[in-house]
Amino acid sequence: MVSLNENIRTLRKKIQLTQDELAQKLGIKRSLVGAYEEGRAEPRAELLQKMASLFGITMEALISTDLTKGDNKPRASYQRGNEVRIVTVDTHQRENIEFVPVKASAGYLTGYADTEYIKDLPKFNLPILKQGTYRAFEIKGDSMLPLMPGSIVVGEYVEKLTDIKSGKTYILVTQHDGIVYKRVFNYLDENGKLFLVSDNRQYAPYQVAGEEVIEAWSAKAYISVQFPEIENKADASVDQLASVVLDLQKELFQLKSDKLKK
């Protein structure tokens, strides 16, 4: 017989969270987590879905599979199709692009599966994008220069992490590093990890395990009030031009010298 409370306790320990930490991620009191794990209460469907997403499994597996045994370990989230994310629509029933500003990024880690939280996010539409599920994230720091801090990256939802194409840029929502925008190389089939690279080479690449990734969004567009800097290329062009002019001057001087000798 499947015991939901035992599944919750087993999976919490598997992702190395205390009851208090799990409660914070779910947006509930720690005493409720204790009640769920002891079988004194059962979570509602919406909270079960939130738990399943956090644990990287389907809600069906959470409530109907015995996950306490070693031969029934939950499949990592990158090995399955994720459930449809919560979305909002406009008056014409077209999906909005919900915007997650930097100040809301911490709350998004626990609110991404909360209908009310998503409804409260700012929303907009971009006619240039094809039909799909999109979300916009404000990026911080200079790890992805020439894209400037404060730029807004619009990403299309990726249902399976195995669909990530190496070398492309993605917004990843991760359990430990929060929301990051990186160039991603897919090594899930080899070692179960993604290799994250910053376009700014001053930042070292690093790896993240597939099961730590809550959501992935493929970068499709960006919005910024600052244009990318291209000073280095311009300086290089000026230096090249100066070198050419100097060579021509030398050749002209040599020609004049040869004429005088004659």
Listed in sequence order, the residues at least 6 apart from 72 whose beta carbon sits closer than 8 Å to its beta carbon are 65, 66
Name the pTM for this structure: 0.60
Residue 65 has pLDDT above 60, yes or no: yes
- Per-residue pLDDT tens over the stretch 101-115: 999 988 998 888 788
Calpha distance 47→115 (Å, rounded)? 11
pLDDT of residue 71: 44
**Helical H runs in the chain?**
4-14, 19-26, 30-37, 45-55, 59-64, 105-111, 115-120, 188-191, 231-261
Rounded average pLDDT over 23-45: 90
Nearest residue to 214 (alpha-carbon basis) of 123, 136, 74, 108: 108
Query: What pLDDT does residue 72 have?
Result: 45
Q: Is it true that the peptide bond before 149 is cis, omega within 30 degrees of 0?
A: no
The confidence band for 235, taking pLDDT boundaries of 50, 70 and 90, is low
pLDDT band at 50 (very low <50, low <70, confident <90, very high): confident
Task: Report the C-alpha gap between 51 and 113 in whole angstroms.
Answer: 9
Is pLDDT at 81 greater than 90 in this prediction?
no
Could you tell me the two tokens for 34?
């204790």
Q: What is the predicted pLDDT for the residue at 61?
A: 80
pLDDT at residue 259, as a whole number: 62
Mean pLDDT taken over the chain: 83
Span 69-79, mean pLDDT? 48
The residue with greater pLDDT, 257 or 176, is 176
Share of the chain above pLDDT 70, in %: 80
Q: Is 132 left (phi over 0), alpha (psi -120 to 50) or beta?
A: left
4-75 to CATH, choices 3.40.462.10, 1.10.3720.10, 1.10.260.40, 3.40.50.10900: 1.10.260.40
Name the architecture of domain 97-223.
Answer: Ribbon (2.10)
Query: What pLDDT digit, counting tens, does each position of 176-228 carry?
Result: 889 999 999 999 888 889 999 999 989 999 999 998 899 999 999 999 988 76
Query: pLDDT confidence of 79, banded at 50, 70, 90?
Result: very low
Distance of alpha carbon 32 from the chain centroid: 30
Domain boundaries, the chain: 4-75, 97-223, 230-262
